[in-house]
């Protein structure tokens, strides 16, 4: 099964590379427990001072006992879909494009099925705070394209962007947390001035979204020497710090391509700027294993391309995998609503990573 997974991963990376190369050919489009808690009120300014958009109140005193975990069918060693998006455009010109309508439809489906978004940083750190009986999902966006986020004249997220659509869906589905991760390059969201970039980054991070590293110029890191890999990563980290990101804890590999030194993707330094990530994310082809599992590799976390079931995606993109998880509920991560415990069926105890064993709540 592991060898098959590796083959699938390589194939999916090749598909992503082919599709992204196509983007370069389009002028001007290169991307330079307890019941679910309600989201807090949204901030509407570029420099929020009130509760963040993505904040969700903690469940009121949930303590998961084995009996309760069994009741909600908790399985915190189950698979988690980490969904990968690129551009949102009215007319798709690449296989990895999605239309705003397709994006909205997928979010609506996730909300109806009981998924709750968390950030890539939260997932990689194992900080999964999802109400009992619900399922975490990670929404990720590569390249910092203008279709992901923009502020309108009133300082609010533009309604037709990914953030605008996510906020609208969350407003219609209380408990569907409006949170996502944006992995950007040197020109976040197509913004040229540092003032505009800072306003965008500060709005996002101030409202519960994650802005993190996708390298400086989006190269194939496998084609670079280790020093150049570190420069690509640390230079972007330095820029994000200048724009207001307190600490960058995740990286998405351009094209899903691992550098020859795998360690250099996760840890390193360049000209005094150091980085040490909780998670490095691939382009992916399947759901990720739980961050509490022995098999979890935080240096190579799987993702799923958002797409239908045509061509290469007939078995390896989001529609296929979300349907597969519906058909195999015992394989899906189900929360116990208690962030202090890791609730699992007793038969899975041997699959827990050693450092999480004191937290195990088996039934």
Tell me the CATH number at 219: 3.20.20.370
Q: Which pLDDT score, from 0 to 100, does residue 209 have? A: 98
- Determine the average pLDDT of the residues in 63-87: 98
Q: How many distinct structural domains can be found in the chain?
A: 1
Residue 222 belongs to some domain of the structure? yes
Residue 26: predicted pLDDT? 37
How much of the chain, in percent, has pLDDT values that exceed 70?
83
What pLDDT digit, counting tens, does each position of 137-157 carry? Answer: 999 999 999 999 999 999 999
Q: What percent of the chain has pLDDT over 90?
A: 82
Please report whether residue 73 resides in a domain: no
pTM: 0.86
Give the residue-averaged pLDDT of 126-143.
98
Instruction: For 268-336, give the DSSP string.
Output: EEETTEEEE-SEEE---SSPBPPTTBTT--TTSB--EE---SSGGGGTTSHHHHHHHHHH-GGGB-B--
Q: What is the pLDDT of residue 54?
A: 54
Q: Place 60 in a pLDDT band, splitting at 50, 70 and 90.
A: low
Q: In terms of pLDDT, which residue wins out, 158 or 18?
A: 158
The answer to the question of residue 137 being in a domain is: yes
Instruction: Give the integer Cα–Cα distance in Å for 294 and 296.
Output: 6
Tell me, yes or no, whether 201 lies in a domain. Answer: yes
Which pLDDT does position 11 carry in this prediction? 43
Q: Which residues contact 123 (CB under 8 A, 6 or more apart)?
A: 80, 82, 136, 138, 279, 288, 291, 301
With CA atoms as reference, report the closest residue to 314 among 15, 89, 50. 15
Task: Quote the pLDDT of residue 41.
Answer: 34
Mean pLDDT of the chain: 88
Please, which pLDDT band fits residue 55 given cuts at 50, 70 and 90? low
State the residue range of the domain holding 151: 2-20+78-329
What band does 284 get if pLDDT is binned at 50, 70 and 90?
confident
Q: Is 50 inside a domain boundary?
A: no
Task: Establish if 337 belongs to a structural domain.
Answer: no
| Cβ-contact 128, 168 below 8 angstroms | no
Indicate whether 69 belongs to any domain: no
């Amino acid at each position: 099964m592991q060898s098959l997974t590796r083959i699938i991963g390589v194939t999916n990376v090749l598909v992503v590379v082919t599709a992204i190369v196509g983007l370069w050919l389009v002028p001007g489009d290169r991307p330079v427990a307890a019941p679910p808690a309600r989201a807090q009120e949204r901030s509407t300014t570029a420099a929020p001072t009130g509760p963040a958009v993505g904040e969700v109140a903690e469940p009121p005193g949930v303590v998961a006992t084995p009996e309760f975990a069994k009741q909600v069918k908790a399985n915190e060693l189950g698979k988690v879909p980490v969904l990968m998006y690129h551009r949102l455009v009215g007319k798709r010109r690449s296989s990895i494009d999605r239309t705003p309508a397709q994006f909205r439809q997928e979010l609506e489906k996730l909300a109806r099925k009981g998924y709750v978004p968390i950030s890539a940083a939260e997932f990689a750190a194992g900080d999964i705070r999802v109400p009992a009986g619900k399922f975490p999902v990670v929404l990720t966006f590569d390249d910092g394209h203008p279709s992901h986020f923009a502020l309108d004249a009133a300082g609010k997220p533009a309604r037709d962007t990914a953030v605008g659509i996510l906020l609208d869906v969350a407003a219609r589905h209380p408990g569907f947390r409006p949170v996502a991760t944006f992995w950007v390059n040197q020109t976040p969201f197509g913004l040229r001035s540092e003032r505009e970039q800072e306003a965008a980054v500060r709005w996002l991070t101030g409202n519960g979204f994650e802005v993190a590293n996708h390298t400086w110029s989006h190269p194939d890191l496998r084609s670079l020497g280790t020093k150049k890999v570190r420069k690509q990563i640390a230079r972007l980290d330095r820029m994000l710090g200048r724009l207001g990101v307190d600490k960058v804890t995740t990286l998405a590999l351009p094209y899903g391509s691992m550098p020859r030194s795998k360690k250099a993707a996760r840890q390193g330094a360049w000209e005094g700027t150091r980085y040490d990530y909780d998670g490095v994310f691939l382009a992916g082809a399947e759901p990720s294993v739980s961050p509490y599992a022995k098999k979890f590799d935080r240096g190579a976390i799987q993702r799923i391309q958002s797409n239908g079931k045509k061509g290469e995606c007939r078995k390896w993109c989001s529609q296929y995998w979300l349907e597969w998880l519906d058909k195999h509920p015992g394989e899906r991560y189900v929360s116990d609503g208690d962030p202090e415990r890791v609730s699992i069926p007793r038969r899975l105890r041997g699959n827990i990573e050693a450092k999480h064993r004191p937290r195990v709540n088996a039934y």
